[in-house]
Structure 1
């Protein structure tokens, strides 16, 4: 049984495969992508694992989780700055790190793109949201997800209660992210708001109610 088959048994995908145009995506990124990731993204679509891990996807519901959006480039620029200034130790050269996901706490998941022309050999690195720690997984992104969600691998940066409830996949719905007036009814999926808030210096809890001023700031950021 492949890693993807095991993952789909653990966290059933919500919809039929997407059949993404990967030639166009890779041309836009200027790099080939791992075969396992392309299968994973096709199978699941955009969404969240265990209400915590958000993989970047070519059809991400917002720019903050879109693989071809501006965020991966911004993250690499920040890593270069950290590397040059010694702000946080970066265990790999920033140009070898390509962001491929994030978490509700603000950590980022990266492909270690070495060798650059053989993406199926890329491994995974995870940084710490507000600290110096890094964690390396010597396997694919699919194997990383499977290892974490089955409890076989513990990432020190991740919360200890991550698996207190059975892991599942929650799809993202782009209609939830249209810049509409804020109402008293909170959106069903608040993961993107939390990710944006932490990336922009707001202190928000991992779960529960998001402060109104954070919702308002996020809403204003979505308005062209």
Structure 2
């Protein structure tokens, strides 16, 4: 018997949880993007970027977008290649070994605490079958989600999936979406130097009138303001 009321798609569920922005950036030239990357991308990701501008979910989760002007979160920027090379080098040295061959990992997102999201590009010729892997910020733990990037976002933001590397209070605040101000995002290419100390950001934020929680995630706006004020990016 056919279900007269099919289950909503992950994107439909996500837009109910997190309303998308009213204004939109120009569409993506996927032919150019895929030619640059040398690989086809999942259809759910293309629909996701058609619905949400470059920006941040829950003040914490960033999805890489080819339209983003920041090399930190641009899908086609040099930071993605650098990150992939770092994972491969770590794997070769037995440091933080990934759950799959590092050659299969394609960076697709990150968090304000430094966790990294990757597509597991297996099989390479079937991007709609790719899953998602999360690497702990500068640590050995990995978490693999058996589903698409959009399904991952929906599951995490709905509370169905708890990623061990993410703060336990992730969903206690606003889980909304905040588009990036692309004109204010132009940091230089990141180097493999140690990341910014989140404790220093908290101290700076409180000293400059920002509401910064004592633990958990640091609001994206505070981190951006800190980086712009100190040049630490």
Q: Matches of 1:213 and 1:36 in 2, distance apart?
A: 32
Q: Matches of 1:28 and 1:178 in 2, distance apart?
A: 21
Aligned to 1:189: none
Aligned to 1:115: 123
Are the aligned partners of 1:197 and 1:204 in contact in 2 as well (CA < 8 Å)? no
Aligned to 2:31: 23
Cα RMSD after superposing both structures: 2.4
Q: Matches of 1:213 and 1:174 in 2, distance apart?
A: 15
Q: Which runs of 4+ in 1 moved over 4 A?
A: 196-200, 208-214
Q: State the 1:83 CA deviation.
A: 0.6
2:215 matches 1:204: no
TM-score by length of 2: 0.80
Question: Between Structure 1 and Structure 2, how many residues are aligned?
Answer: 204
Aligned to 1:186: none
Q: Matches of 1:44 and 1:3 in 2, distance apart?
A: 14
2:113 matches 1:105: yes
1:78-129 Cα offsets, whole Å, 9 max, x none, are 0111111112122111110000000000000000000001000000000000
Match of 1:82 among 60, 81, 90: 90
Q: Matches of 1:68 and 1:12 in 2, distance apart?
A: 26
Are the aligned partners of 1:197 and 1:214 in contact in 2 as well (CA < 8 Å)? no
1:107-157 Cα offsets, whole Å, 9 max, x none, are 000000000010000000000002111000000000000000000000000
Aligned to 1:151: 159
Are the aligned partners of 2:70 and 2:186 in contact in 1 as well (CA < 8 Å)? no
Unmatched runs of 5 consecutive residues or more in structure 1: 180-192
Aligned to 2:203: none
Aligned to 1:49: 57
Aligned to 1:216: 230
Q: State the 1:61 CA deviation.
A: 3.3
Aligned to 2:205: none
Q: Matches of 1:27 and 1:173 in 2, distance apart?
A: 27
Q: Matches of 2:193 and 2:116 in 1, distance apart?
A: 11
Q: State the 1:24 CA deviation.
A: 1.0
The alpha-carbon distance between structure 1 residues 70 and 17, as it changes in their structure 2 partners (threshold 3 A), is closer
Aligned to 2:148: 140
Aligned to 2:213: none
Aligned to 1:35: 43
TM-score by length of 1: 0.84
Matched position secondary structure for 2:231: helix
Match of 1:128 among 133, 136, 140: 136
Are the aligned partners of 2:69 and 2:186 in contact in 1 as well (CA < 8 Å)? no
Aligned to 1:11: 18
Q: State the 1:200 CA deviation.
A: 4.2
Q: Matches of 1:167 and 1:202 in 2, distance apart?
A: 24
